[in-house]
Amino acid sequence: MMTKKTISASRASLILFLCQMITALEVPLDPILLKELSQPPTITQQSPKDYIVDPRENIVIQCEAKGKPPPSFSWTRNGTHFDIDKDARVTVKPNSGTLVINIMNGGKAEAYEGVYQCTARNERGAAISNNIVIRPSRSPLWTKEKVEPKHVREGDPLVLHCSPPVGLPPPIIFWMDNSFQRLPQNERVSQGLNGDLYFSNVKPEDTREDYICYARFNHTQTIQQKQPISVKVFSMDSLNETISANLSDTDFYGAKPLTERRPTLLTPVGSTSNKVELRGNVLLLECIAEGLPTPVVRWIKEGGELPINRTFFENFKKTLKIIEVSEADSGKYKCVARNPLGSTHHTITVTVKAAPYWITAPRNLVLSPGEDGTLICRANGNPKPNISWLTNAVPIAIAPEDPSRKVDGDTIIFSDVQERSSAVYQCNASNEYGYLLANAFVNVLAEPPRILTPANKLYQVIANNPALLDCAFFGSPVPEIEWFKGVKGSILHGDLYVFHDNGTLEIPVAQKDSTGTYTCVARNKLGNVQNEVHLEVKDPTMIIKQPEYKIIQRGGQVSFECTIKHDPTLIPTITWLKNNGELPDDERFIIHKDSLAIMNITDKDDGTYTCVANTTLDSVSASAVLTVVDRPNPPFDLELTDQLERSIQLSWIPGYDNNSPITNFVIEYEDGMHEPGVWHYQTEVRGTQTTVQLKLSPYVNYSFRVIAVNEIGRSQPSEASEQYLTKAANPDENPSGVQGIGSEPDNLVIIWEPLKGFQSNGPGLQYKVSWRQKDVGDEWTSVIVANVSKYIVSGTPTFVPYEMKVQALNDLGYAPEPAEVIGHSGEDLPMVAPGNVQVHTVNSTLAKVHWDPIPLKTVRGHLQGYRIYYWKVQSLSKRRRRHVEKKILTFSGNKTHGMLPGLEPYSSYKLNVRVVNGKGEGPASPDRLFKTPEGVPSSPSFLKITNPTLDSLTLEWGPPTHPNGVLIAYTLKFQPINSTHELGPLVEIRIPANETSLILSNLNYSTRYKFYFYAQTSVGSGSQITEEAVTIMDEAMASRQVDIATQGWFIGLMCAVALLILILLIVCFIRRNKGGKYPVKEKEDAHADPEIQPMKEDDGTFGEYSDAEDHKPLKKGSRTPSDRTVKKEDSDDSLVDYGEGVNGQFNEDGSFIGQYSGKKEKEPAEGNESSEAPSPVNAMNSFV
Mean pLDDT value across the chain: 84
Ranking 93-102, 804-813, 1051-1060 by mean pLDDT, the lowest is: 1051-1060
427-451 pLDDT, tens per residue?
999 999 999 999 999 999 888 999 9
Strand, coil or helix: what is 1161? coil
Task: Name the β-bridge partners of 360.
Answer: 378
CA distances from 1176 to 148, 1065, 1118, 1182 (A): 138, 8, 21, 10
1029-1049 pLDDT, tens per residue?
999 876 555 444 445 555 677
* Angle (nearest 5°) at CA 691 between 687 and 697: 115
674 pLDDT band, cuts 50/70/90, is confident
Q: Which residue has the higher pLDDT, 77 or 1069?
A: 77
425 has pLDDT over 90 = yes
Confidence at residue 612, expressed as pLDDT on a 0 to 100 scale: 96
Q: Is 954 exposed, middle or buried (0-12, 13-18, 19+ CB in 10 A)?
A: middle
485-530 pLDDT, tens per residue?
987 778 888 788 999 999 999 999 999 999 999 999 999 988 999 9
> H/E element holding 1092?
none
* Angle (nearest 5°) at CA 851 between 845 and 855: 155
Report yes or no: 687 and 663 within 8 Å, Cβ to Cβ: yes
Ranking 256-260, 549-553, 1027-1031, 1061-1065 by mean pLDDT, the lowest is: 256-260
Please give the average per-residue pLDDT across 1166-1171, as a whole number. Answer: 36
1111 has pLDDT over 80 = no
Which residue in 925, 908, 900, 885 sits closest to 840, CA to CA? Answer: 900
- The number of C-alpha atoms within 13 Å of 739 and in the hemisphere containing its C-beta is 8
> H/E element holding 520?
strand 516-524
Which residue in 899, 955, 812 sits closest to 1135, CA to CA? Answer: 899
Confidence at residue 645, expressed as pLDDT on a 0 to 100 scale: 86
Confidence at residue 1052, expressed as pLDDT on a 0 to 100 scale: 83
Q: In what order do the strands lie in the sheet with 835-843?
A: 835-843, 846-852, 897-900
What residues have CB less than 8 Å from 542, skipping those under 6 apart?
564, 565, 566, 620
Please give the average per-residue pLDDT across 664-671, as a whole number. Answer: 95
Confidence at residue 420, expressed as pLDDT on a 0 to 100 scale: 87
655 has pLDDT over 80 = yes
Question: Can you tell me the distance from the alpha carbon of 709 to that of 712, in angstroms, rounded to the nearest whole number?
Answer: 8
1122 has pLDDT over 50 = no
DSSP state of 1094: P
Question: Can you tell me the distance from the alpha carbon of 962 to that of 940, in angstroms, rounded to the nearest whole number?
Answer: 9
Question: Can you tell me the distance from the alpha carbon of 173 to that of 223, in angstroms, rounded to the nearest whole number?
Answer: 10
> H/E element holding 565?
strand 563-565
829-858 pLDDT, tens per residue?
999 999 999 999 999 999 999 999 999 889
DSSP state of 871: E
45-93 pLDDT, tens per residue?
999 999 999 888 899 999 999 998 999 999 999 999 999 989 989 999 9
Confidence at residue 14, expressed as pLDDT on a 0 to 100 scale: 31
957-1006 pLDDT, tens per residue?
999 988 999 999 999 999 999 888 888 899 999 999 999 999 999 898 88
Question: Can you tell me the distance from the alpha carbon of 15 to that of 251, in angstroms, rounded to the nearest whole number?
Answer: 96
Which residue in 826, 848, 992, 847 sits closest to 920, CA to CA? Answer: 826
Report yes or no: 827 and 862 within 8 Å, Cβ to Cβ: yes
Confidence at residue 243, expressed as pLDDT on a 0 to 100 scale: 53
1055 pLDDT band, cuts 50/70/90, is confident
Q: Which residue has the higher pLDDT, 1160 or 416?
A: 416
1102 has pLDDT over 70 = no
Question: Can you tell me the distance from the alpha carbon of 301 to that of 285, in angstroms, rounded to the nearest whole number?
Answer: 12
3 pLDDT band, cuts 50/70/90, is very low
Confidence at residue 104, expressed as pLDDT on a 0 to 100 scale: 85
237 pLDDT band, cuts 50/70/90, is low
Q: Which residue has the higher pLDDT, 1177 or 128?
A: 128
Please give the average per-residue pLDDT across 308-319, as a whole number. Answer: 94
CA distances from 343 to 187, 265, 298, 759 (A): 16, 10, 11, 72
* Long-range Cβ contacts of 973-981 (<8 Å, 24+ apart): 973/1011, 973/1012, 973/1013, 974/1000, 974/1009, 974/1010, 974/1011, 974/1012, 975/1009, 975/1010, 976/1004, 976/1007, 976/1008, 976/1009, 976/1010, 977/1008, 977/1009, 977/1010, 977/1028
Question: Can you tell me the distance from the alpha carbon of 609 to that of 605, in angstroms, rounded to the nearest whole number?
Answer: 10
Please give the average per-residue pLDDT across 527-545, as a whole number. Answer: 95
CA distances from 836 to 850, 853, 854, 898, 927 (A): 8, 9, 11, 14, 11
- The number of C-alpha atoms within 13 Å of 580 and in the hemisphere containing its C-beta is 0
Confidence at residue 245, expressed as pLDDT on a 0 to 100 scale: 55
Ranking 358-362, 1058-1062, 1134-1138 by mean pLDDT, the lowest is: 1134-1138
> H/E element holding 6?
helix 2-9
Confidence at residue 92, expressed as pLDDT on a 0 to 100 scale: 94
Read off the pTM.
Answer: 0.48
**Helices 2-9 & 11-24, crossing angle to 10 degrees?**
80
Confidence at residue 642, expressed as pLDDT on a 0 to 100 scale: 92
857-878 pLDDT, tens per residue?
899 999 999 999 999 998 887 7
1162 has pLDDT over 70 = no
582-634 pLDDT, tens per residue?
999 999 999 999 999 999 999 999 999 999 999 999 999 999 999 999 999 99
Q: Is 57 exposed, middle or buried (0-12, 13-18, 19+ CB in 10 A)?
A: exposed
Task: Name the β-bridge partners of 648.
Answer: 694
CA distances from 951 to 337, 812, 1009, 1029 (A): 137, 109, 12, 12
710-720 pLDDT, tens per residue?
999 999 999 99
Report yes or no: 814 and 729 within 8 Å, Cβ to Cβ: no
Question: Can you tell me the distance from the alpha carbon of 230 to that of 232, in angstroms, rounded to the nearest whole number?
Answer: 7
Which residue in 134, 97, 92, 109 sits closest to 57, CA to CA? Answer: 109
Question: Can you tell me the distance from the alpha carbon of 525 to that of 517, in angstroms, rounded to the nearest whole number?
Answer: 27
Which residue in 769, 761, 816 sits closest to 788, CA to CA? Answer: 769
Confidence at residue 9, expressed as pLDDT on a 0 to 100 scale: 32
Please give the average per-residue pLDDT across 252-274, as a whole number. Answer: 81
1107 has pLDDT over 60 = no
Confidence at residue 244, expressed as pLDDT on a 0 to 100 scale: 54
758 pLDDT band, cuts 50/70/90, is confident
Confidence at residue 239, expressed as pLDDT on a 0 to 100 scale: 59
